[in-house]
Structure 1
Amino acid sequence: MRNLISAAALAALLALAACSPRYNWREASDNGAHFVVLLPGKPATVTRPVDLDGPKVDMTMTAAEAGGATFAVGTAELADAAAAVKALDAMSTALLNNIGGRPQGTALLPGKTDGFSRSIDLDAHGAAGGRPLRLVARLAARDRRIYQVLILGDEKALTDENIETFFGSFKPT
């Protein structure tokens, strides 16, 4: 019986040690409440104009940094659904170009894609500022709205657990 209790205590300590305090998962959304997602820290939100290979739109990014990675969700609204679907290609190209990245096969990320007219999943390796980076992203269109859901950072920061928690929690509203 004593060994069973010790084993259970050891397992509990290992589980607690694996839960790094740097990942303080909390529910977040953009100010317009176009989505909800779990972010690993206090989010910041910024809106900037972006060129999506033709249409110029204001994209709002909500992001948090933790453990050597940035977890972010961007959203914007385009003129019509066809423009939104087309914009995903421009977003994919821009993200890959930003890190000089190449996709690592066909990515199948966790989380639901129901209700999107189109989605693109990316898993790419590249570099920026001489620093090796990994990018995991889902780009999606629903009606006139586009979503850019991504994690960018050090390879070690992009664990299966973090990818599952972040992408599995994303829900457009």
Structure 2
Amino acid sequence: MLLAAWFMLAACSPSLNWRQVEGTDAPFVVLLPAKPSTLSRPIDLDGRQVTMSMTATEVDGVTFAVGVIVLPDAALAPKALQAMKLALVRNINGSIESEQATNTSSSFDIVAIGNVGRSQESVRLLAHFAARDQRVYQAVMIGPGRAISAMGADTADTFFTSFKLH
């Protein structure tokens, strides 16, 4: 009976298999909870065509991702960070619940909520934005609000505190 209860508990909890991942085209390191995929594609960032490289994985409906854009000039970074933030929030038809500066002038964190899809499912977005030289970064955890809550604060903490620029 105890063994059956343990298997039921194990089936209900997220299977997080943390691994250290280094950026292939950008100098960063992060812990991701499953084997990631990496892709690059052109995007429109506030009227400027840029290429975003994305390293991402999904566990239990929650996506963990790091996106990187290389700008032609480091002076464009502050505006690019704001554009990245607004694009992410707009993608979930959301609003920012909280925003906080971090220990440097070129990084900040947000929490946003929104609704997506035909069912207008509630989505939660946790994101960290940073810039170094000509590169701008977004580390994102996004998924159904209930799925992110089920993973707990420790999961978000592990992901975001592991994200480092070299």
Is 1:127 matched with 2:120?
no
Residue in structure 2 matching 1:58, options 46, 51, 64: 51
Which secondary structure does the structure 2 equivalent of 1:106 belong to?
strand
Distance in 1 between residues matched to 2:62 and 2:155, nearest whole Å: 10
The answer to which structure has the higher strand fraction is 2
Q: Which residue of 2 aligns with 1:31?
A: 24
Larger-gyration structure (1/2): 1
Q: What displacement does 1:28 show?
A: 0.9
Is 1:139 matched with 2:129?
yes
Contact 2:26 2:68 in 1 (8 A): no
Residues matched between the structures, number: 154
Residue in structure 2 matching 1:68, options 32, 38, 61: 61
Q: What displacement does 1:105 show?
A: 2.7
Q: What displacement does 1:43 show?
A: 0.2
Residue in structure 1 matching 2:145, options 143, 148, 155: 155
Cα RMSD of the aligned pairs, angstroms, is: 2.3
Task: Output one character per residue of 1:140-171: Cα deviation in whole Å (capped at 9) or x when no partner.
Answer: 11111000100000223322011100001001
**4+ runs of 1 displaced by more than 4 Å?**
none
Using structure 1 for the length normalisation, give the TM-score: 0.80
Which secondary structure does the structure 1 equivalent of 2:88 belong to?
helix
Residue in structure 1 matching 2:106, options 107, 118, 123: 118
Amino-acid identity (%) = 49
Distance in 1 between residues matched to 2:141 and 2:14, nearest whole Å: 18
